[in-house]
A and B are shown apart, each in its own frame.
Chain A
């Protein structure tokens, strides 16, 4: 089978009809993609608008946590927060506009249910919000701070990195702000441009003392968020904003936790390991399917879930098995978290690697800020990956 795959790859470039995968928009878009090879003329007319090309794929209904209810991502977050406020009398939720329900409706109904001294608005001051949250956490409250968009988290960077992350260490375990959880909408949404699309997990991954968690779906979101709240370390929980409405699953109504720092193998495979997190998981699922169908390549797909501290064991074990690794994320490649994974894997699994590790990144050139022009966003990764493999450009699979 591997030989067949190699044959496919090394053959002269030929186009496989892409049938039955994705929507009709994809095939017309593909034609565009082929034109985008370096020597093509760029279109001067208004470009066709391409919608985000991935389909959210729900997981099977969990049975071990009790009765479930249909919820989308923001509703699952509300459910988690509801459970927390119900069981923990010290829990408070604060941030910009959370009182009426939040700009993404994650806190709808909580103020009415639990009172205005537990769910309250802050003024427009991220540094203040996080600093305040650290203080509240140190004093014993379960503080859940919302930053309205991950793009706005930078004024609070100092508080997170210098105050929150190092509190336990510098006080010799006398004090800690483990009760602090920071939530923020994260990632590309199509029309977000420079300041409503960022994925800053790599900045925070560089900082020991905090945990960084990114769910891929409502069931994961609720479990991971509850785990973050319960965890005795300050946690940052990034919620993929494009999935707030688009991702719908049957989510358990009762509280449950999903362990942090444990990557999940979503699909077993033997030829290549794919690692991703958040929205990208759904893109990679499509890639895995396409690779299987078109090239007969069996992919093992891993959802990292916790960025820091990340599950090196699961990833390395997988790479030892397959010998190839491809990591994909939305954030810019240079210094992105894939670089850290690559570095560790090449150190741990060097002799098992059969090809260079590929760091990949989906959207418009994020080595530069995303352009305001909406037509240039969200070109599909999946079909382009398959085509590049066909063109023999994909080193990882050689």
Chain B
């Protein structure tokens, strides 16, 4: 039947004069799914590790590819806009780490919860934000996902709690969300992300203790990109085995550049949590190509050779692309089409983000308190009062 459909499609394409790029091969030619060998995770206080033979379907592969490519291009566009001073303030880019966001989302449901620190653009996207909303938030316009008042570090969507500026402060929050999930009995869990620098904050250990004590459905994930701002992990941590730092919490060390590895590990952790066994800790070994933020060139504490090496050998998007092509799951043209579509989406979003108006002055003070009636707030000069409505 597929052959019939493909024949019809081919006929249609020929009739239309083949204006669009048509894959030389039809859908019937591609492998629907394939099994891949992935790296085994290191385990801590666990009897078994996640599977090393995993299945990925063509649809999944294309979806991961498109999502990762969107994040990558979005971050590069943000870099460009920042250098043009259209985005200002703080901007922490996620390129290089796409497999983490995409893999985690593939392992949980949209109804689950997630909270992360300031390198949040990727997660905002995977959790349901649109590129348009994200870019408009970066440029501080009213179409932004936080109405233009939050900026890079403060983006939120349903079941995504941001976007947090203070390092480490989001982890106890995540534990609290997990408590709510357990209390409400909705079989949901909360993923709390933090970095290798934040892993040395005291409140993280307080969260570990509470989560383990009360068997909360919390997955703590350390995105170890080897550098906390400019400090390498060896110089900051007595133990760089971040997956073991939860001590009494079982842990996994995962190759964070491989989207399938991340997905499997997340599924494994999610099953563990949902079965009531308590929290789990995951360390994703990943890498960021940009510096810590846009004011950090990123080469004073690491060599360009190191960055190039990671880009050449472990780039998450290239890895996925190679896998799909060598297993006949997609064609080069098809992936190129996706690239073109993604580029267009980003361009449109950037256009919107540059031309959308800024939020109106009346909204500046809204949502300080929850109040009824409206609160009066002193404006930007002592004699202009603004209203705070919430």
Contact = CB atoms under 8 A, between A and B. Distances in A.
A191 to B, nearest CB: 5
Contacts, number: 132
Given A128-B202, A367-B378, A193 B365 contact: no
B380 A365 contact: yes
B357 interface: yes
A37 B357 contact: no
Interface string A313-328: 0000000000000000
B358 A372 contact: no
B378 A384 contact: no
Interface in B166-209: 166-168, 197-198, 200-203
Contact of B235 (A121, A195, A381): A121
B163 to A, nearest CB: 11
Interface in B226-241: 228-231, 235-237
A123 interface: yes
Contacts of B151: 193, 372-373
Interface string A343-377: 00000000000000000110111011101111110
Interface in B65-99: 88-90
B362 A42 contact: yes
B16 interface: no
A151 B169 CA distance: 13
Q: Is the interface of A mostly helix, strand, loop or mixed?
A: loop
B198 to A, nearest CB: 6
A214 B203 CA distance: 30
Interface in A117-156: 121, 123-125, 127-128, 151-152, 155
B368 A367 contact: yes
Interface string A32-54: 01001110001111110000000
A97 interface: yes
A42 B378 contact: no
Contacts of B165: 194-195
Given A46-B357, A361-B378, A127 B202 contact: yes
Size class of the contact patch on chain B: 35 or more
B127 interface: no
Given A46-B357, A124-B198, A365 B383 contact: no
A333 interface: yes
B149 A372 contact: yes
A381 B360 contact: no
Nearest to A377: B380
B360 A44 contact: yes
Contacts of B379: 36, 365
B388 A368 contact: yes
B202 A123 contact: no
B284 to A, nearest CB: 18
Contact of B380 (A97, A152, A369, A379): A379
Contact of A365 (B202, B359, B386): B386
Contacts of A45: 357-358
Interface string A382-394: 0011001001010
A389 to B, nearest CB: 10
Interface in B217-269: 228-231, 235-237
Interface of B: 88-90, 140, 146, 148-154, 165-168, 197-198, 200-203, 228-231, 235-237, 300, 357-362, 364-365, 368, 377-386, 388
What 7 A-B pairs are tightest by C-beta distance, nearest first?
Answer: A372-B151, A42-B361, A123-B200, A195-B165, A368-B368, A384-B381, A373-B140
25 contacts: A36-B384, A42-B360, A47-B358, A96-B231, A97-B231, A125-B200, A125-B202, A128-B200, A151-B166, A193-B89, A195-B166, A365-B365, A365-B379, A367-B377, A368-B377, A368-B388, A369-B368, A371-B364, A372-B146, A372-B151, A372-B154, A373-B149, A373-B151, A373-B364, A388-B381
